Structure 1
């Protein structure tokens, strides 16, 4: 049974944050692995993509991009073939029947919507993309389609939590160089290290630029192996590969 976590902020639109429950993959990818870049059986991955699409909006078209930890956004107007996916880390659309899908395995998935304007978006915010402004660029792309940021609502889905995300102090200094206030997203850890609240950073960045409502699901991917894939957990276990989960949003026809 596929598990789709929902956001109250987006309750009027087809959307969901999928985990690993359900699906046909086995082994270290067991469950609903949708990562074409993984070493999982390709047919299993494609079947999982069909399953999650139909769990959200049967008959719709799932669109994904080739994620590269960039701040780049694509405006989607039609379906995109898997072998023609552009390199980007966010998408926006005003076309009903297209499901925007963002893949993650610890990074922050953000779903956006201005229901009044009929515009939705989805972003993959790893630390590089978040720092470079992928969420800011997603908002700008939505505004180009007629959205207004004071009406836009955002939901931040499952991602690695502060308690699980240890980073070096040199890493934290990159964020401090951008804004001294970013120190609040880093708490003290073992010597030479700290714990990073990446979801909090992304939420604060959205609030700072005028997003009207932001909801955080507060689910840690690292600490829930039965529910979510996690790149960092797989590394710590010495596994040779890892699965990806997907976050979805669409405009119904």
Structure 2
């Protein structure tokens, strides 16, 4: 388990960026795989998620994650849902106590948000597409509708693939430069001609700061570079493995 100091000091806020340790899964999923969409044995994923829920002080049915679609879409969570009825979105916000909201990741950026004074929290899955299309700003706007003040919101970024391990092609770079020429600062040349290394975490941080959050903290950890602690979609792809585990990154309000 990993925690952000900026969130840990807030009253009533419980949060964790779970690593791959502490679960019951094995093989490529070893051991704390929380991915409902993975090919892991469902009963093992259920047990893993129950352990995560207990860590945050909630019951398993109140440990919620969405069906992620790499979008800027946000849903207000105000109760429980089933695997079949979970919403298609990439961020959740709530002001309900004893309700944990989270997102799954395996290279993309997991963001946890909290305005402790207002009692409003959020969680967002920020891959390049979600960050590019505004999931961070949409999450903040949804929190404001619940009573949060943007200038009070603390945001923490958990384990994410880092620039030294994130190679992208020329069309990717062109998309970002077409949106804003200043985005060139998030790319450095790759060894392969025409390719570049993308600073996803730097880009996420810049989007959050421009949006006017109260504070932004980056834990500075790379999913790709640390196979002992983290799952990684890109590492799995390069190794030719059949599937990969998913981390859960979650936050809850205490009583």
- TM-score bucket of the superposed structures, by smaller chain: over 0.9
The residue that corresponds to 2:209 in the other structure is: 207
Q: 1:6 pairs with 3, 7, 23, which one? A: 3
Q: Does 1:228 align with 2:230?
A: yes
Q: Does 1:137 align with 2:134?
A: no
The residue that corresponds to 1:37 in the other structure is: 37
Cα deviations across residues 229-251 of structure 1 (Å, max 9, x unaligned)? 00000000000111100101011
The residue that corresponds to 1:112 in the other structure is: 113
Contact 2:93 2:122 in 1 (8 A): yes
Cα deviations across residues 69-103 of structure 1 (Å, max 9, x unaligned)? 01100001111112110100000000001000110
Distance 1:210 1:56 in 2: 28
Q: What value does the CA root-mean-square deviation take over the aligned residues? A: 0.9
Give the total of aligned pairs.
Answer: 250
Report deviation, 1:147.
Answer: 0.5
Contact 2:34 2:45 in 1 (8 A): yes
Report deviation, 1:58.
Answer: 4.5
TM-score, normalization: structure 2?
0.96
Cα deviations across residues 207-226 of structure 1 (Å, max 9, x unaligned)? 01111100000100001111
The residue that corresponds to 2:76 in the other structure is: 75
Distance 2:144 2:130 in 1: 20
The residue that corresponds to 2:171 in the other structure is: 170
Distance 1:83 1:118 in 2: 29
Cα deviations across residues 165-184 of structure 1 (Å, max 9, x unaligned)? 00012201111111111111
Contact 2:58 2:98 in 1 (8 A): no
Secondary structure at the counterpart of residue 122 of structure 1: strand
Distance 1:113 1:121 in 2: 6
The residue that corresponds to 1:25 in the other structure is: 25
Report deviation, 1:59.
Answer: 3.8
Distance 2:144 2:185 in 1: 30
Distance 1:238 1:170 in 2: 25
Distance 2:189 2:249 in 1: 31
Cα deviations across residues 130-176 of structure 1 (Å, max 9, x unaligned)? 11101110000000001111111100000101001000122011111
Mind listing any 5+ residue stretches in structure 1 that lack a counterpart?
none
Secondary structure at the counterpart of residue 83 of structure 1: coil
TM-score, normalization: structure 1?
0.97
Mind listing any 5+ residue stretches in structure 2 that lack a counterpart?
none
